[in-house]
Amino acid sequence: MPSIPSSLSSTCRPIGEHAILAAAELILSKKLKRLGKINNPTDAAEFLRARMGGLMHEEFHVMWLDNAHRILDCQRLFTGTIDGASVHPREVVRAALQINAAAAIFAHNHPSGVAEPSSADRTLTQELRDALRLVGVRVVDHLIIGAECVSLAERGLM
């Protein structure tokens, strides 16, 4: 199997079902690289859904973008359990500054398959948006991945 580009790779090794997800991630990462930039939430959602949709635990990822919304990197920043992941704004800000990002798209999965944003999801989004605003990084969206993909921006929750 071809290796996944380091800028869009995950540290999980594909086994069985995970091999299929890794192959899908590779295809979508190549598509994103060809697009070169994110024009709408659907561009990122396809890739992130393939990357996170089959996980049995929560993960929090950030797609970092430059001023023109070109993809700089996609990082898994936090890993949790079956019903939550602790996300620390300080570490998100640190990652943004290290990559010199101008914008971000957050994503996390709900292993239950129910992608409806919780009040904790909305609160976290606001806290991260406020923290990143202090260092000049715009938050474009927060995607919740389950059986469906829910965009907080599309719902007017940003």
Here the CATH number for the domain that contains residue 69 is 3.40.140.10
pLDDT in tens, 97-121: 999 999 999 999 999 999 999 999 9
pTM given for the model: 0.77
- Does residue 8 sit within a domain? no
- Does residue 52 sit within a domain? yes
**Helical packing angle, 41-52 and 17-35, nearest 10°:** 160
The arithmetic mean of pLDDT across residues 24-28, rounded, is: 60
- Does residue 7 sit within a domain? no
User: What is the three-state SS of 42-61?
Assistant: HHHHHHHHHHHCCCCCCEEE
- Does residue 6 sit within a domain? no
| Number of independent structural domains in the chain | 1
Q: What confidence category does residue 25 fall into, taking pLDDT thresholds of 50, 70 and 90?
A: low
pLDDT, position 39: 73
Q: Which domain holds residue 58?
A: 13-151
- Does residue 24 sit within a domain? yes
pLDDT, position 153: 94
- Does residue 157 sit within a domain? no
- Does residue 57 sit within a domain? yes
Structure token pair of residue 101: 């990002």
pLDDT of 56 strictly over 80:
yes
Where is average pLDDT lowest: 21-35, 85-99, 100-114? 21-35
Q: What confidence category does residue 126 fall into, taking pLDDT thresholds of 50, 70 and 90?
A: very high
- Does residue 158 sit within a domain? no
